[in-house]
Every structure is written in C-alpha cells, then in structure tokens.
Amino acid sequence: MELLDEMNIFYGRQKAYKLIKPHLYSFLTGFNGSKEMRGEINNAKSAGEILQILKKIEI
C-alpha cells in the first residue's frame, strides 16, 4: 500500500493504479487466495478499488 501511495504522488492516481498492477501480481504470489486477489486486481477500475483489495491482507 505504501508503494501505491508513493506512485499516486509521483504519477497521479489514474496512471499509478495501472502501473502498479504487474508489481502486485508478483508481490501476491504465494499467499493463500492470491489467485483470486490477482483476478480482483486485474478487474479493478481505480486505485481505490485496489486499496480495498489490499486491505483484505493487511496485517
């Protein structure tokens, strides 16, 4: 979530959410339910949606 925040600042929200998707696919590999989460991220239409998905695994 920190990386997405930094990318939002640097690139702006619209571009950041598109650019972060490939990174998130790699970051999520190996977690329980990661396949479903990657699918959700792939279908996300905004940075806000991606944040909601990431909050599911926040510790």
What pTM does this model have?
0.70
Q: What is the pLDDT of residues 13-53, one digit of tens each?
A: 888 888 888 888 888 888 788 888 889 988 988 878 888 88
Tell me the pLDDT band of 11, cut-offs 50, 70 and 90: very high
* pLDDT value of position 48: 84
Query: What is the token pair recorded at 20?
Result: 């972060």
Within 10 angstroms of residue 51's Cβ, the number of other Cβ atoms is: 16
* pLDDT value of position 10: 94
